[in-house]
Structure 1
Amino acid sequence: MPTTTTSDNQTRLDTLIAEENQLQFLYFNQQIAWDIGSELRANAIEKHAKVAINISVGEQCLFHCALDGATLDNQEWVRRKSNVTKRFQRSSWYMKHHLEMKGKNIEQASFINEKDYSPFGGCFPIRVKNTGMIGTITVSGLPQHEDHQLIVDVLSQYLKKE
């Protein structure tokens, strides 16, 4: 089994930061949340994914759906992954790799409870250019790298049109 070096891990983190910097909005509103949420839903249905999807700005939920087969557990993962992104203002996938590179879990690194904060892929920050992070987009139900990639793919396509 190949080993991952510190350099490889840093490259991954740098790539994830670049991804976050690239996938920013000029502005964000309820219609954009609906459009992105609907596209996430359509892509998940196409993949036969049993996911929960949430888009929130601050504490206000602008889009939420649970596809057939998604459970209350998926909703709980949405909450926990979203808490990570809100607290650290990085994708939950970034935080997973950041903590792995440090060799610590989230409780050891930040003194916060894993019952409320889960650094697993699937939550992405909503950033508005020249403003910063205003909310989160979260998917739960696929393997964590696929949760993350579903969001990135939809945002990439949406922002190309913007």
Structure 2
Amino acid sequence: MAGRPLREAPRDLSEIAKQEESLILPHFTADDALKIGLSIRNRLRALSTLAAVVSISLANSSNLLFHAVSRPGIQPDNDIWVSRKRKTVSRWGVSTWFMHNKFKGDEEAFSRKYMLGGEAGTYAIHGGGVPVRVRGVEGIVGVVVVSGLKQDQDHMIVIEALGEFLEQCSKEEAER
């Protein structure tokens, strides 16, 4: 891997929750999704020679706001992972990394806990799906998903991009 390395993803549930709660955005528009998506795509290209998918959608309608690949070589399976991660974030309102660590990666325990039965395969508890929250808005407004790297890296690249976007918003607000 080249480029600035990602920070290590926390595994403690309270740390993951704190990380997610610190990323409440002042706004989230289609233009914001484009900025965040391009930032993630560019970071993926600098970080790895592996191909990955970046997908950003609205939470309530699942309308797609951004979808791109970092490099050639994406398999149809990547979009299936994106869909499964998005569905998990939309239902539980937390990152897939949080759910992964909550169940210690045990998909059968996850399925039993929520009585998913035959529907279990439509959800994923692998890192890379992260909720988008906006200050003053109840619940999640969007879902950012990365699929293609190791799951902790999929998670952290989204977390870091949302953090950078939030910092940029704060600077713009201060300049006004």
C-alpha distance in 2 between matches for 1:102 and 1:33: 32
Q: Which of residues 129, 148, 155 in structure 2 aligns to 1:148?
A: 155
Q: Greater CA deviation, 53-62 or 102-111?
A: 102-111
Deviations 1:66-109 (A, max 9, x none): 23111111110000011110000000000111122999622111
C-alpha distance in 1 between matches for 2:50 and 2:106: 32
Letter in 1 for 2:149: L
With over 3 angstroms needed to count, the CA separation of the structure-2 counterparts of 1:29 and 1:109, relative to structure 1, is same
Q: Show the counterpart of 1:50.
A: 51
Q: Show the counterpart of 1:105.
A: 109
Q: Show the counterpart of 2:82.
A: 78
Q: Show the counterpart of 2:94.
A: 90
1:49 CA displacement: 3.0
C-alpha distance in 1 between matches for 2:148 and 2:44: 10
1:111 CA displacement: 1.4
- Secondary structure of residue in 2 paired with 1:33: helix
Q: Does 1:115 align with 2:118?
A: no
Following TM superposition, the consecutive aligned residue runs of length 4 or more in structure 1 with deviations greater than 6 angstroms are none
Q: Show the counterpart of 1:8.
A: none
C-alpha distance in 2 between matches for 1:72 and 1:101: 23
1:127-146 equivalent positions in 2, closer than 5 A: 127-131=133-137, 132-146=139-153
Q: Show the counterpart of 2:7.
A: none
With over 3 angstroms needed to count, the CA separation of the structure-2 counterparts of 1:101 and 1:49, relative to structure 1, is closer
TM-score by length of 1: 0.88
- Secondary structure of residue in 1 paired with 2:12: helix
Gaps of at least 5 residues in structure 2 are: 1-10, 170-176
With over 3 angstroms needed to count, the CA separation of the structure-2 counterparts of 1:23 and 1:70, relative to structure 1, is same
What is the percentage of aligned positions where both structures have the same residue? 27
C-alpha distance in 2 between matches for 1:104 and 1:21: 28
1:161 CA displacement: 1.1
- Secondary structure of residue in 1 paired with 2:94: coil
- Secondary structure of residue in 1 paired with 2:38: helix
With over 3 angstroms needed to count, the CA separation of the structure-2 counterparts of 1:24 and 1:49, relative to structure 1, is farther
Corresponding pairs, count = 152
Q: Is the 8 A contact 2:24 2:133 kept in 1?
A: yes
C-alpha root-mean-square deviation of aligned residues, in Å? 1.7
Gaps of at least 5 residues in structure 1 are: 1-10
Q: Show the counterpart of 2:36.
A: 36
1:157 CA displacement: 1.2
- Secondary structure of residue in 2 paired with 1:56: strand
Q: Is the 8 A contact 2:127 2:155 kept in 1?
A: yes
C-alpha distance in 2 between matches for 1:101 and 1:40: 25
